[in-house]
Amino acid sequence: MTLESFFDPDSVAVIGASRDGGKVGHSVLRNFVEEDFRGDIYPVNPEADQILGLEAYGSVLDIGGEVDLGVVTVPPSVANDVVEEAVEKGVDGLIVITSGYSEIGEDGEEREQELQRIVQGTDTRLIGPNCLGVYDSFSGVDTLFLPSYKLKRPPQGDIAIVTQSGAFGSAVMDLLAEMEVGISRFISYGNQADVSEQELMQWLDGDEKTAAITVYMEGASDGDAFMQTARQVTDETPVVALKGGKSGSGKSAVSSHTGSLAGSYEVYRGVFRQTRVLEATTIEELFDYSRALAYNPPLAGKNIGVVTNGGGFGVLTADSLEQRGLELAEFSTATREQLREVVPDYGNVENPLDIVGDADTGRYEQALDILRKDEAIDGLIVIPLLQPLPLDSDVIDTIVNMNEEFPKPLVVCMTGGEYTGLHAKNLEANDVAAYSSPHRAAAAMQALYQYGEWFGDATTQL
């Protein structure tokens, strides 16, 4: 089988489904019920007749129909037994959420080896153990056992997340939900007893719903395999990775956290470069870069045009671009002449272009229309500050429309509070990446430039 059953199964069994609202097995079952999972849902619990209005089964073996996906939430003492039954039943994919395996040391290692023996050579594939499992925004698969008030789910979108750390995964999912950044699939894969990070990346590479893959990893289980896979995947799909355990102290922390070997950071950096995996050094960069790459073609050159109604932000963006190795495009004479008609006399018509504080949407529209035709510009950073009265919400539509016709990268910088945030979400919903500060917008442009360097002016790439 491919890994399809983990993401789009026709039927799911929650093995360890519980009537107790505080239990993992209850939360997972409720997710499937409440998110209108389109297939059959089978609660498995030997001590219940019904859970959440659904008939419960004593064992997965008692289920009459086929089971594509099984989610295991029982205690570690019985987890391997129910996995064995699931293999016997012929379940395609198993997500073992249960912890108490290799991450707890010796006792757990034995249990994990047994688990591996149970699935080895069978038709059943297994994600976990010790993981949050899978969230698929399209099919309704959701094994994240945390209530939505604590962990909001992001909307549908085209960024996939693969994470070794469940805590990392749950925190960033909640963060992205708040930013309304769209996610295709999320996988917290835990101890990788069977399905590995590489296989997941490979599957996402072929996934038409996914335009960019973000990875949080502490240590690869198999360095060579990772390298080979990454090389293939990045040929088609951008991969952005954040590596935990770069420092000496971080490395020791890794070995006690996921039990992985963090390995030498220098080696990882080399592998990332060779396989064209874009390295993020912070959580912010991880998603800033992913959004830029998911929504834009690569930059064909380093000449950036900047337009703003707030001069100070033009200055800071110029500083940040230079710091990131990019340059301000020199506007053509034609561009300057046309801008002269649009910008008030006391404003200037140089890059960064300050269309000044009394600019309305109309002036933005005119300026953008001039800039998009200037061939000296490889990409645009648009900085619509919404605090001044003359600029209204329509500027968002103007930018979205312009972006649809503009074959080059365009990102937005908007700094502000709630009102600004609402408009940033609107851009995000239209696949325009909005950043909360000049240095983040400039860093996103650097990511797009790096991609252009690696893959050429390849609009086929993204």
Stretch that binds a copy of itself, among 135-143, 240-248, 361-369, 454-462 (CB under 8 A): 240-248
Q: Is 129 in the site for a copy of itself (CB under 8 A)?
A: no
Q: Looking at 33, 41, 48, 171, which residue binds a copy of itself (CB under 8 A)?
A: 171
SS3 157: strand
For the segment 21-60, give every residue that binds a copy of itself (CB under 8 A). 22
- Closer CB to a copy of itself, 11 or 361, in the complex: 361
- Nearest Cα to Cα of residue 176 among 152, 212, 149, 142: 152
Least distance CB 190 / a copy of itself (angstroms): 12
Q: Are 164 and 200 in contact (CB under 8 A)?
A: no
Compute CA distances 48 → 19, 41, 137, whole Å. Answer: 8, 15, 30
Q: Is 352 in the site for a copy of itself (CB under 8 A)?
A: yes
For the segment 288-347, give every residue that binds a copy of itself (CB under 8 A). 308-316, 318-323, 327-328, 345-346
Per-residue mark of binding to a copy of itself, 174-203 (x: CB under 8 A): xxxxxx------------------------
For the segment 264-293, give every residue that binds a copy of itself (CB under 8 A). 281-284
Integer-rounded Cα Rg, in Å, for the chain is 25
Q: Is 387 in the site for a copy of itself (CB under 8 A)?
A: yes
Rounded Cα–Cα distance for residues 199 and 203 (Å): 6
Rounded Cα–Cα distance for residues 299 and 296 (Å): 9
Query: CB-based contacts of 228: which residues, under 8 Å, 6+ apart?
Result: 198
Interface size with a copy of itself, residues (CB under 8 A): 88
Output b/e per residue, 5-40; b: 16+ Cβ within 10 A: bbbbbbbbbbbbbbbeeeebbbbbbbbbbebebebb
Q: Is 19 in the site for a copy of itself (CB under 8 A)?
A: no
For the segment 63-82, give every residue that binds a copy of itself (CB under 8 A). none
Retrieve residue 388's tokens: 């001044």
Query: CB-based contacts of 135: which residues, under 8 Å, 6+ apart?
Result: 141, 142, 143, 144, 153, 173, 183, 185, 186
Rounded Cα–Cα distance for residues 221 and 229 (Å): 13
Stretch that binds a copy of itself, among 84-92, 163-171, 205-213, 404-412 (CB under 8 A): 163-171
Per-residue mark of binding to a copy of itself, 426-445 (x: CB under 8 A): ----------xxxx------
Stretch that binds a copy of itself, among 12-20, 48-56, 242-250, 363-371 (CB under 8 A): 242-250
- Closer CB to a copy of itself, 39 or 244, in the complex: 244
Q: Looking at 98, 137, 164, 366, which residue binds a copy of itself (CB under 8 A)?
A: 164
Least distance CB 313 / a copy of itself (angstroms): 6
Phi, psi of 120 (to 5 degrees): -55, 130
- Nearest Cα to Cα of residue 44 among 90, 99, 86: 86
Q: Is 388 in the site for a copy of itself (CB under 8 A)?
A: yes
Q: Is 393 in the site for a copy of itself (CB under 8 A)?
A: no
SS3 16: coil
Q: Looking at 18, 170, 290, 398, which residue binds a copy of itself (CB under 8 A)?
A: 170
